[in-house]
Amino acid sequence: MGKKHSIMVCDMKTMLHCSIVMFFLGGLATLSFYRNNNQEAVVSTNIKVTTHTTTTTITSTNANANTYIDTSKINTTQDFDHQKRLKIAPPSLTEACDLFSGRWIHDNKSHYPLYKEDECPLMHGDLACQTYGRKDSKYQQWRWQPHGCDFPRFYGKAIVEKLKGKRLLFVGDSVNRNQWDSMMCMLYSSIPGKKKLKLGLNRTLYSFRSKEYNISVDYYWAPMLVESNGDNPSNHSLDHRTVRIKSIEKHARHWVDADILIFNTYLWWRLPIIRLLKGAGSLLGGPNQVYDEVDNVRAYKMVLETWSEWVDTHIDPTKTKMFFMGLTATHSNAKDWGGKKQTTCYKETKPVTVDGFWESGTDPKLLRILESSLSKLKAKGVNVQLINITQLTQYRKDAHPTVYRRLWRPLTEEQKKNPQRASDCTHWCLPGVPDVWNELLLAYIFPTTQPASQ
The one-letter code for the residue type at 381 is G
Beta carbons of 262 and 179 less than 8 angstroms apart: yes
Q: Which of 173, 174, 218, 398 is catalytic?
A: 174
Cβ contact 107:142 at 8 Å: yes
**What is the C-alpha separation between 37 and 43, in angstroms, rounded?**
10
Instruction: Give the burial string for 379-403 (b: 16+ CB within 10 Å, else e).
Output: eeebebbbbbbbbbbbbbbbbbbbb
294: left (phi over 0), alpha (psi -120 to 50) or beta: beta
CA 249 to chain centre: 23
Q: Is residue 189 flagged as an active site residue?
A: no
Whether 427 is catalytic is yes
Considering 189, 228, 427, 435, which one is annotated as catalytic? 427
Query: 173, 218, 424, 435: which one is catalytic?
Result: 424
Helix 174-188, helix 433-445: angle, nearest 10? 80
Nearest to residue 227, comparing CAs of 206, 205, 242?
242
- Chain CA centroid to CA 191, Å: 25
Residue 424: active-site member: yes
Task: List the catalytic residues.
Answer: 174, 424, 427
